[in-house]
Amino acid sequence: MKKVFLWLLAFLFVGSVFAYTPTANDVSNLNNLKFQLSWLIENNNINLRDFYNQLRILQEDYSKDARLNYMLGNLKDHLYHNFFAQKTHAKITSQSGKQEFLDQYLSGISDDIQNSLHNCTGWYNTLDDISFAYDFPTALTIATWYRESTCAYHLPSNKNGPFQIISRDYWTWEITQNKFIETVVDFIEFTKSKFSRHSWLTGKLNYTDFDLAWINNFAGLYNGWKKQWNIIVPNVPKYLYDWYGDAFSWAKKYGIFPQFLKVLERELSQ
């Protein structure tokens, strides 16, 4: 990946100008680079998002150079168009299955949440992009962020980040967009590594398909669990079910599952 961007900067020389109209040679170079990138991103959404994100950062860094800004922006937009088209297709093909899941379980929630503090919608698109790239349910990414830090956009004083991963040390510096994205990627990779160590578990948990059993597994693996009849049982059921059903109806904040449902409801209503 780094070699590609070294090559990119090799032919996109820096020379500040006030306005820029691409030349035929620029267009040719861009088309050639898009072709070269295509085999690196084909069927690899993680690479596709990573390239897009690096281009976004580079464009910010060279925002005062009109020619370089144009070239970087053109490549960035090209990659995101590709990424967005694939994500949109995944949303469309999975919509009916997600709606069935929502219809089955949403009735267990009596409260209705709409404000951004509770449904964390302010960063939805960024979290949705990352979750799609890593084939992980967006609603679960957001639900965990809510449960662990009430969607806080800062680095908590315990240095474990907004997803409270105790094996990480994020310090307590002011958070940036790039640092926040790093914490989201860390969360998904951390979760997947836990799943890989428990290959005996069965279920569905990806961007387009999921079931309650696997959300239960997630809550247990992430927050503490015990094995019972060859299934995972969360040590702290309220972490998963707060506000869901009579037994957990007096909680101060939603558990993972009701928050998952509310975010999924928001997603399907867009």
Structural contact between residues 109 and 261, judged by C-beta atoms closer than 8 angstroms = yes
Q: SS3 of 92, please?
A: helix
pTM: 0.87
Domain ranges across the chain: 2-85, 109-269
Per-residue pLDDT of the chain (270 residues), as tens digits, is: 545 554 455 455 444 445 688 899 989 989 998 998 888 888 899 999 999 999 999 998 988 888 889 999 999 999 999 999 999 999 999 999 999 999 999 875 655 555 444 557 788 999 999 999 999 999 999 999 999 998 888 898 889 999 999 888 888 777 899 999 999 999 999 999 988 888 777 678 999 999 998 999 899 999 988 777 667 878 889 999 998 887 788 888 889 999 999 899 889 988
- Helices and strands in the chain, H and E counts: 11, 2
pLDDT score recorded for residue 8: 54
Name the phi and psi angles at 57, rounded to 5: -65, -45
CB atoms within 10 A of CB 33: 19
CA distance readout (Å), 198 to 43, 230, 240, 255: 26, 11, 19, 23
